[in-house]
Structure 1
Amino acid sequence: MKAMILAAGLGTRLRPLTDEVSKPMVQLGGRPCIEHTVRLLRKHGIKEIMINLYYKPELIMNHFGDGEHFGIKIHYSVEKELMGTAGGLKKVQQFFGDDPILIISGDALTDLNLTDFYDFHKKKGGLASLALKNVQDPREFGVVQISQDDRITQFQEKPKDVTPISTKANTGIYIFEPDIFSFIPSNTFYDFGKQVFPDLLMKGQSMFGYETQAYWCDIGNIDVYKDVQFDILAGIVKVDIPGKKFENCIWLGRNIDIDPDTKIIGPVFIGEKSVIEKGAKIYGPTVIGNNSFVGSNSVIKRSILLEGARVGNDALIADSILGNDQHVQARMICENRTIVNSSKKL
C-alpha cells in the first residue's frame, strides 16, 4: 500500500504561526507536525509516499528531500492552484497504480494504528474506509452516521447551525481501493467530504467507518496548538520525542548547555544546541526549540519557544508562544501572547 499526505492547505486559522511556515511544518514536540506523520507511516510498513504541496512548498521539500534520511521514499506534487483533497489525489493517480491508497493529513497529529485500520478495510471489502473519532463538539468537523455493521449511512459537513447527526468526526484518514479514481473528475478542484463521499452514498457504493480510540487532533488554531504540544509532553499521544528523557518528564536534546544553577520542573522539552543560563527557571509544560537561548534569572512558564528563540536576562515568559528566531529583551514581561516577526534585537 502507498500513502498520500495532504499538505497543501494554507493554515489560515493558525496564523500568525503560518505566516512563517506552512501548517504541516509547525513544530510539535521538537519535530515538524508532518514529520510525525511520516514516522507513523514508516512504522506501519509504508515504504513510498506522495506529498501534495502548495503554500511554501520548499520548506517541506528541503526538510525531507527524497526521504532517504527518514527511511521512506518521498515524491512531491506541487499544485499551481489548489486542487482540493480529492482533486489533489486525482492529479497523482498514476503514482498509485492498482495499489490500495492511504490518505492522511499532514497538519493533524495522530498515533492511529494504521495496520489495524488496513486490516479493517480489507475485512469489510468496501470501496472506502474512513477513520472516525468521537468528539465532544462536532460543529467544527464533518461527522458521519454508521450502521451496526460499521457501514456509513449519512454524512454531514460541519453542522454549525443544525443538530449534528452524530459525534463521530471524520478524521481525514482514509483507505481507498483504486476504483475511487473513477468518482473524481480530472483537472478540477474536488473535495472528499463535500463531493466524493455524498456521491458515493447516492450511487450505493460501500463505505465503512473505523472507530478509533487513538489520539487524533486537527491543529486548527493557536489554543489547540498549545494543547497538542502539552499532550505530547504528557504522553497522551505516542510520538517520538527527540533527545534523551530524564526523570520528571524532562527531554534534553544533544549539545545543550544548561547551567547547574537552574531550575527545571517537567514536563519540559529543550531542543539541541540550546543554552539555559544561570538562575533561569523553567516550569512545565514548556517546549523550547533547537538553538534557543534563555538568559540568566529568566522565568519560562507553560510556554512554547520555537527554534532560535532568545529570551534576555530577568525576563518572564508565561502562557505564550515565541516564533522562530524571535527575541525578547531583558526584563520584559510577556504573558498570554503569540509573538512572530517582531524585532530580533535582544
Structure 2
Amino acid sequence: MKVFLLAAGEGTRLRPLTYQVPKPLVPVMDRPVLGHVLDNLKRQGVKDVVVNLHSQAGEIRSFCRGGSPWGMRITYSLERELMGTAGAVRKMASFFRGEPFFVLSGDGVSEIRLEEVMRFHKRKRALATMVLKAVDHRFQYGVTKTDAQGRIRGFYEKPSWGDVFSNTVNTGIYVYDPEVFRYIPSGRPYDFGHQLWPLLLKQKKRIFGFLFSGYWCDIGNLEEYRRCQRDALDGRVRLELGARQLRPGIWVGQGSRIHPEAVLKPPCLLSSLCRVGAGAVLGPHSVVGREARIMARAVVKNSILFPKVCVGKEVRLSNCIVGSNGSVTDHAVDYVDAILMAKS
C-alpha cells in the first residue's frame, strides 16, 4: 500500500503560526502534526510514502529523516512552484503504477482505517474514492452528495450556507486507481477539489464516497487547530504523547519539575524538561511544550504553549497560543484570546 502525503502548502489560514514553523510541523500535543499522521500510517503497516515539499522543505526533511523513525521509506518530491493537489500527485505518477494508492493531507489528524477504505474502493470498482465525514456546520470544507450506493452525484468546494445540500464533507483523504492520471494534465498546476473531481463527475466516471464515522480533524485554520488539541486532551482521538499520565487527565513528560505548591488541573499536558513555579496553575485544557517555564503564580488555562516558552510571574493566559521561544513578561497581566509569536 502506497501513500502520497500533501505537505507543500504554505498554511496561510494558520498564520501567524506558520510564519514560525511549516504547516506540517505545527505542534499538536507538543508533536508535529505530520508525526501523528505518520504514526497512524505505521500502525497500519504502510511502508512506502511520498511527501511533497515546497515551503521550508529542509525542516520537513530533517523531521522525517527518510522515514526511518517509522520503519518506512519516504520519497520527497520538491516543488519549486506549487503544482496544486492533483498536479503534485501527477508529478509522481511513475511511483504509483500497478495498484490503487492513497492521498492524504500531511496535517489532517484522523483514525482512518486504510484497509477498510481500500476494500470499499475495490468492491465498487471505483476510479476514485473520496472519504467523507458527516459534520454539523463547518462548511469551509468541500460538501459532497452521494446516492444510496455511495456513488458521488454532486460536489461543491467550500460552499456558502445558501448552497448547502448535504452535511457530508470531503476529508481530503482519497483512493485513486492509477488510471486517474489520464485525467490530470502533466507539468502544470491542477487541483483535486476544483478541477479533477468535477471533471470525473461530469464524465460520469465511477467515483464513490466512503462515509467515515471515526475521528477526523483538519487543522487548516486556528479554530480547528485548537479543537484538535482539546479533542486529544479529552481522549476523543488516540495520539502518541511521549509523556506519562501522572493522574487521570494529567500527562507529564520526562525531566519536568513541578513545585509542590503548583496546581495542575485536568486535562493538561506538560511536556518534557519543563518547570512550573510555586502557586502557578496549569489547566484545564492546556498544552505546554518542552522546555517551557511557568513562573510563580502564573495561570495558564485553555492555552497552547509551543516549546521553550516562558510565562512570567503572575501572568494570566486564557485561550492563548504562544509561539516557540516566546516570553510573556512578569507581573499581573491578563492575556485573553491572544496569539503571541514574539517576545513581549
- The TM-score bracket by the shorter chain reads over 0.9
The secondary structure found in structure 2 opposite 1:217 is strand
User: Following superposition, which runs of at least 4 residues in structure 1 exceed 4 angstroms of deviation?
Assistant: none
Instruction: For 2:341, give the aligned amino acid.
Output: V
Residue of structure 2 in register with 1:85 after alignment: 85
The secondary structure found in structure 1 opposite 2:66 is coil
Distance in 2 between the 1:161 and 1:294 partners? 43
Instruction: For 1:47, give the aligned amino acid.
Output: K
How many angstroms does 1:50 deviate by? 0.5
- In the alignment, structure 1 segments of 5+ residues that lack a partner are none
Aligned 8 A contact 1:138 1:168 in 2: no
How many angstroms does 1:221 deviate by? 2.2
TM-score by length of 1: 0.96
Aligned length: 343
The secondary structure found in structure 2 opposite 1:229 is helix
Aligned 8 A contact 2:327 2:342 in 1: no
Aligned 8 A contact 2:243 2:271 in 1: yes
Instruction: For 1:167, give the aligned amino acid.
Output: N
Residue of structure 2 in register with 1:340 after alignment: 341
Distance in 2 between the 1:322 and 1:28 partners? 13
Aligned 8 A contact 1:310 1:325 in 2: yes
Aligned 8 A contact 1:138 1:164 in 2: no
From the superposition, tell whether residues 65 and 129 of structure 1 become closer, same or farther in structure 2 (CA, over 3 Å): same
- In the alignment, structure 2 segments of 5+ residues that lack a partner are none
How many angstroms does 1:128 deviate by? 0.9
Alignment of 1:86-101 (within 5 A): 86-101=86-101
Residue of structure 2 in register with 1:142 after alignment: 142
Instruction: For 2:252, give the aligned amino acid.
Output: L
Distance in 1 between the 2:168 and 2:108 partners? 17
Aligned 8 A contact 1:133 1:212 in 2: yes
Q: % of aligned pairs identical?
A: 35
Residue of structure 2 in register with 1:246 after alignment: 246
Residue of structure 1 in register with 2:268 after alignment: 268
Residue of structure 2 in register with 1:284 after alignment: 284
Alignment of 1:164-203 (within 5 A): 164-203=164-203
Distance in 2 between the 1:154 and 1:318 partners? 42
Aligned 8 A contact 1:282 1:301 in 2: yes
Residue of structure 2 in register with 1:299 after alignment: 299
Aligned 8 A contact 2:273 2:292 in 1: yes
How many angstroms does 1:103 deviate by? 0.5
Residue of structure 1 in register with 2:19 after alignment: 19
Distance in 1 between the 2:92 and 2:104 partners? 15
Residue of structure 1 in register with 2:33 after alignment: 33
Once the two structures are superposed, residues 8-63 of structure 1 have per-residue CA deviations (whole angstroms, 9 ceiling, x without a partner) of 11111111101111111111012111111111111111111011111111121111
Distance in 1 between the 2:321 and 2:83 partners? 32
Aligned 8 A contact 2:103 2:173 in 1: yes
Alignment of 1:27-106 (within 5 A): 27-106=27-106
How many angstroms does 1:161 deviate by? 6.1
After superposition, the CA RMSD in angstroms is: 1.4
